[in-house]
A and B are shown apart, each in its own frame.
Chain A
Amino acid sequence: MSVMTTDIHEQTAVPQPKQHGKPGGFLRHTNIFTGVVTGLVLAIITFAIGSKIVPWGNQNVDFDQVGFQALIGITYIAWVIGFMAGIGAFAGPIRWVLGHDLTHADAEYMAGKGQGRFKYWKYTTDHKVVGIQYLIMTLVLFGLGGFLAMLIRTELGITWAEVFTPNFYNSIIGTHGIVMIIAMIIVVAGPLGNFIMPIMIGARDMAFPRLNALSFWLLFAAVPPLVSNLLLGGIRDGWTVYEPLGSQSPVGMIGYQICIIVFAFSTGIASVNLITTAFTMRARGMSWNRVPIFVIGIISAAIMGLVWFPMFQYSQILALSDRMLATSFFNPLMGGSVWLYENLFWLLGHPEVYVVVIPGTAALIELMTVFLRKPLFSYKMAIAGFAGITGISAIVWVHHMYMTGWAPSAGYPFMLSTELISIPFGFLVLVMLGTMWRGKPWTRLPMMCVYAVIWNKIIGVITGVYLSDVPVDQYMHGSMFVVAHFHYMLMGAGLFAAIGAISYWFPKMTGRMLNERIASIGFWVAFFAFQLTFMSMFVAGLQGMPRRVLQFDNAFNISNWLSTIGAYCIGIGMVIFLFAIITSWRNGKPAPANPWGAKTLEWQTSTPVPLENFPVLPVVTSDPYGYGVPDPYDAVEKKMSEADQPVGAGAR
């Protein structure tokens, strides 16, 4: 247990640099509105000046094409730069150039001291504020992605007519995919990695607070270009935006590419921040044996994101260059290679699914101990599991490319590596099941999420076993079977785990108890509807329905009707859950400091969490899993092994 005193902490006097102006300086005047206005103004000015330079109205079809693409691309970049300038991101570098160091008062202002609610609208460095900002952003992105999913299922459910034209349909499936992927990447590592993890390791903030704010606002800047694609003709491609099909899309595709390029910077910065915080800012006494497993999960996901996201970023930079500069990285007629794009994409694409699933799994493993009042089963196996997945995830990406004909012999080694990665994944399942073994569950919503997620993982893993086998993939690749499989893993095991994690830490983050009656109704409606939706989708895939099609054979009608009904019910369930979150946040019962009786450090500080997290930094003397009573069967074992028995005798 940690040891804390109630002494008031006296700050020793540190020589401060000269205070230039009021604390906070330029950041006193910037917030999200100044950011948006500056971004829009700079974008409009750039477009106006650019359209004079780039003659996009003339008859020369080739230059018209490239020139206009370049113009739109530069306009988006101007939006990003303008927004970051308007939110105050450049204040730091400019201050450094001018030689003004941050004083303590500046740092406190930037951390949001004394600003009340307004700190959430500004470039605030306090990790708790950034965590809440990420939570809101995640909810908005899920709302948008979910809305698009409802449109997709409407089209697929109305089998006797076309609701949308094929182009619009192709655009919304692509936009749904990328919005959901972005939302899933940040859903646990963003709100919880930022808000909870530093408190959990006994730190006052993250290692790089200003980079923390930067990573959030870069994400915020990246989203409007992505969403605007629907107004500019759409991306007309799946979320993977394979080239060369992507280069046939209208200019909306540039929004996608700019979004990913900026989002990759945001992710890289956030990953560096998370890893450095976990490695260097743990409380005294928190050796690696005593680190909560949630932190390990966050580190694994951050490492994978940091190493592999640049691959995705490069694939989009090169595709953008093909568009704006008429290069031919991916144009086979001019010497490029379509396989180059696929490789770059899937080099991230595979580790990314682990970036999505690992933090949620780690959070569930963490909270299981609290709700079962049992220590974590085999902490070392959990570490081995996370480490194994992080390492092996680097060498499995070609299993997304079995059918490309790129390297037929590559099927063998990548089948091997794909099966190998199931072993560390199995360690995590062992830890979850072992913790559950002989435990009495406290049936609150976070614990019930664990059961839901394990069920979804079972289905996801067995269908993943099918897909990992090249001969079977020869039938199933590109069919709805794949779509159902990854929804089971990313949504069933990823999103539902995130719901569990958010409902677990909701009291600490918002200071209120979540209304579990409504939240549970929403959750279970969504869970059972999820089974209906995606089991029917497995059937459609087995029957031979390809993916990304809006019209299909009559044989698949029933599967699609059932999937659509299920999807609508998922939507209703999620809306109910969202309603529970919003109403509980606004006027839920105020939460005590430790409603769950948990032993990790974040529950040992008060709610709402003070600015400096802990009045006195804790000293840790054991791991946070000191639950449970001695096993009664252990006494039997002990007696058995201590008692006299003639060698070779039978049972007593």
Chain B
Amino acid sequence: MLGNLDLSFVSWDMLSKFVLSGFIFSIQLTIVATLGGIFFGTLLALLRLSGRPWLVIPATFYVNGMRSIPLVMVILWFFLLVPLIIGRPVGAEASAVITFIAFEAAYFSEIMRAGIQSIPRGQVYAGQALGMTYGQNMRLVVLPQAFRNMLPVLLTQTIILFQDTSLVYAIGAYDLLKGLVTAGKIYGRPEEAYLLAAIIYFTLCFGLSWLVRRLQARIAIIR
């Protein structure tokens, strides 16, 4: 079955020359998009829960709009628009970072909205009774608990995000997958390179989701 496949081209030399920089970019993109996405996603969630129509409507429109478009199209859109807006060409990598922050913010905002709503109203009232401002109430009472409650979901979304970073293939950014595909072409082993990509992604994602499940179990006991 594996007869016509030959993985012997895999060597440390090959990996460090072609794959490592792509792998580092994939990880960077995942981390930056997660942190940026959670930051802007939390802001979006606060806007949607603010109760003021001129804040709620645009934020809702943004989140639902992003969530109804395929990620590949969003990647293409930003690659087209970002140079027009800032007036000079940007690399595929920079464009990918901006895209993923903007796109993931919509998904993280839904998670954070659920997290904020999972905090009993009584806690907000208690904060108000203590004379806390809205900002203090959010920062000291609501958000820390919302983050804690949603931590497993946030991490699961990060794993999905990591898988999705492979879609920067559409604009030719040099990520883990692109690195492997390039190496496969140069060594004349394209099929084996795809298989290797599957093995690497599977190992990372499976390992991470196993960690998330363990974390979830620990959090469940504390609560």
A, B from the same assembly:
no
